[in-house]
Amino acid sequence: MSSTQKQLLKRIAELVGLNRALRLENDQLHDQNEALQQELEEKKKIIARVLPDESDYEEEGKNKRVNVRKIKMGTVLFAEAQGFSDISEEMDSEALVDHLDDIYFQLENIISKYEISKVKSLGDTFLCAGGIVNKNTVNPLEVVRAAIEAQYYIRELQKSFENTKIWQFKMGIHTGPITTYEEGRRKKYYELKGDTVNIATRVRSFARPGEIMITENTYELVKDLFNCQYYGKMPVKYKETIKIFKVNGIEPEYSLRKRGIIPNKHFINKYRQVQFTDLQEFMLDKLERELPQNLYYHSVKHTVDVVTQVELIGWGEGITEDEIVLLKTAALFHDAGHIIDYDNHEYQGTLLARELLPAYYYTQHQIERICELIMITKMPPNPNNLLEEIMCDSDLDYLGRSDMIPVSGELFKELRERDKISSLNDWNKLQIKFISNHQYFTKTAKSLREVNKKKQIERIKKLIVN
C-alpha cells in the first residue's frame, strides 16, 4: 500500500470518527431540546391556568362597533410578574398556581376600588389605566396609590407561602395622552395605543422585583403626596431622555403611623383638593347646559364668583384647607337648584349635593355641613358660625364691588321676567333699603367691600325718581 493510500485511509477514519461524534452531539442536543420544549409547555400550562382567558374578548368584540376616544391625560400601569424562571420540577405547581391566581385576583380587586380599568392580562403582564372611563385629574394619584397597595399586598401574601416565595412584580407608570378602543356593551373591553403605553412598558424594565418606577410626567403630579426618589434617565426613541423615579410609598406625614402605606386624613384632604377640580368642571358644565337661559344674575358667572370669593375670604379668615374645600363645594351647589325650581332653589341644591357628592368621596358628615352652608344663603342672611359668615359674605360680595350697578341691573331683569318686581324705580328703592340694612360679617369682607358699598348707596340714590 502506497503512502498516498495510507494517508487517504487515515483521513477516511478521521472523518468516520468525526461523523460519529457529530451524531452523538446532535442526539444530545435533540434530547436537550425536547427537555426544554417539555419544560416550556409545562410553564405555558401554568400560565394558562393562572391568567384570564382572553378568548372572550374576541367573541364579545365580533360585529360590535368600536368606540375610539382620544384622552388628553390618562395614567398607565404596566406590571410584570417575576418568578416563572424560578419554577422547578420539585415545586408544587398547584400551590404556585393558586398563589399567583390570588395575586392577580387581588390586583383586580385593588384597582376596582379606584377609577382604574383593567385593560388586559397577557402572559406574565398586567395592564391597567386610570382616567380612561371618566375624565379626571386624580388618575395619577389613584394609579400610584393602587400600585403601592398592590405591592404591599403581594409582600404580605408571600409571608404565607412558606418555601415558595417566588412571585414578585415589577411596575412601571406613565401619564400622558392615550387613544382607547372600546368594545362590548355589557362588559367593556379596552385596547390602548400611543406613546404613553409604550413608555409605561419601558419604564417597568428599570424596576427591580417589588419596585414601582414612574416617569417625570407622573412624578410632577404626585410628588406632593408620595415619597419618590430620583433614579436616572431613560432614553426614548425619537424623543429626548425621560427622568424616572422610584416610588418609596406615601409621604410619612400623609400616612398612618408614618409607614407610607395607608393614607391618613391629611392625605384624603389633600386628595379632595385635587379632586375638586373634577367636581367643579362637572358642575359648571351641568349649570351651563341646564340652567334656564333667562337667569341673568344667577348664572354660571355668579357661581364662579362665589367659589372664588369663599376661597379669598376663607384664607383671609385663617380657616383650614379642608374647610376651604367645604365652602367651595357649597358655593358650586348654592344656586344649582335653579335647574329645578326658582323660589326654592337652595333646598333643591342640597338634594343635588346629596345625590352627587358621595361619588367624589365626601363623607356623610361633610355633605351635611355643605348642605347647611347652601341653606344659609337663603334670604335674609343669618349665619351662626364663621363658615356660614364667609358663605353669606361671598354670596353678596357684589354689593361692595365697583360693578354693583350693572350686576344689580341683571338681577332686576331676572326678577321682572318672573313678575317679582315691576319698575326699575321701585327696584332702586328696594336696593337702597336692602343695602342700607345689610352688613358684612367677616373682617376680611368688611375691609374689602364695606367702604365701596356705601358709595354704591349714593350712586343708586341719584337714579331714583321721586
Q: Is residue 101 part of a domain?
A: yes
Sequence-distant (≥ 6) Cβ neighbours of residue 247 within 8 angstroms? 144, 147, 148, 173, 211, 212, 213, 214, 226, 227, 228
Q: What CATH number corresponds to the domain at position 254?
A: 3.30.70.1230
Q: Do residues 16 and 137 both lie within one domain?
A: no
Q: What CATH number corresponds to the domain at position 322?
A: 1.10.3210.10
Q: H helices of 86-194, where? A: 93-112, 139-158
| Packing angle of the helix pair 345-356, 265-290 (nearest 10 deg) | 130
The candidate with the shortest Cα–Cα distance to 170, out of 96, 244, 235, is 244
Task: Give the residue-averaged pLDDT of 2-30.
Answer: 56
The candidate with the shortest Cα–Cα distance to 437, out of 380, 385, 397, 395, is 380
Q: Do residues 418 and 302 both lie within one domain?
A: yes
> How, if at all, do strands 242-250 and 116-122 pair?
unpaired
Q: Do residues 259 and 278 both lie within one domain?
A: no
Residues 345-393: tens digit of each pLDDT: 999 999 999 999 998 888 899 999 999 999 999 998 999 999 999 999 9
Q: Do residues 273 and 327 both lie within one domain?
A: yes
- The last residue of one of the domains, among 206, 241, 263, is 263
- Give the DSSP letter string of 174-197: EEEEEEEEEE-SSS-EEEEESHHH
Q: Do residues 211 and 329 both lie within one domain?
A: no
Q: Is residue 14 part of a domain?
A: yes
Number of domains in the chain: 3
**Helical (H) or strand (E) element with 55:** helix 55-61
Does the pLDDT at position 88 exceed 60?
Answer: no
Residues 257-281: tens digit of each pLDDT: 989 899 998 898 888 888 899 999 9
Q: Is residue 113 part of a domain?
A: yes
Q: Do residues 279 and 427 both lie within one domain?
A: yes
Q: Do residues 150 and 94 both lie within one domain?
A: yes
Cell 380587586: give the residue: 109
Phi, then psi, of 351 in degrees rounded to 5: -65, -40
Q: Do residues 313 and 401 both lie within one domain?
A: yes
- The last residue of one of the domains, among 248, 263, 278, is 263
Q: Is residue 250 part of a domain?
A: yes
Q: Do residues 279 and 306 both lie within one domain?
A: yes
Q: If pLDDT is split at 50, 70 and 90, which confidence band does 33 have? A: low
Q: Is residue 466 part of a domain?
A: no
Q: Is residue 215 part of a domain?
A: yes
Can you list the pairs that 188-195 forms with residues at least 24 positions away whose Cβ atoms lie under 8 Å? 188/117, 188/133, 189/57, 189/60, 189/61, 190/117, 190/119, 190/120, 190/129, 190/132, 191/119, 191/120, 192/76, 192/119, 192/127, 192/129, 192/132, 195/239
Does the pLDDT at position 250 exceed 90?
Answer: yes
Q: Do residues 93 and 168 both lie within one domain?
A: yes
Cell 336692602: give the residue: 434
pTM to 2 decimal places: 0.73
Least confident of 53-62, 173-182, 343-352, 421-430: 53-62
Q: Is residue 325 part of a domain?
A: yes
Q: Do residues 23 and 84 both lie within one domain?
A: no
The candidate with the shortest Cα–Cα distance to 168, out of 274, 98, 83, 291, is 83
Q: Do residues 9 and 88 both lie within one domain?
A: no
Range of the domain at 365: 269-461
Can you list the pairs that 105-108 forms with residues at least 24 positions away whose Cβ atoms lie under 8 Å? 106/150, 106/153, 106/157, 107/79, 107/150
Task: Give the residue-averaged pLDDT of 144-168.
Answer: 80
Task: Give the residue-averaged pLDDT of 314-325.
Answer: 94
Cell 380599568: give the residue: 117
- The last residue of one of the domains, among 218, 237, 263, is 263
Amino acid at 139: N
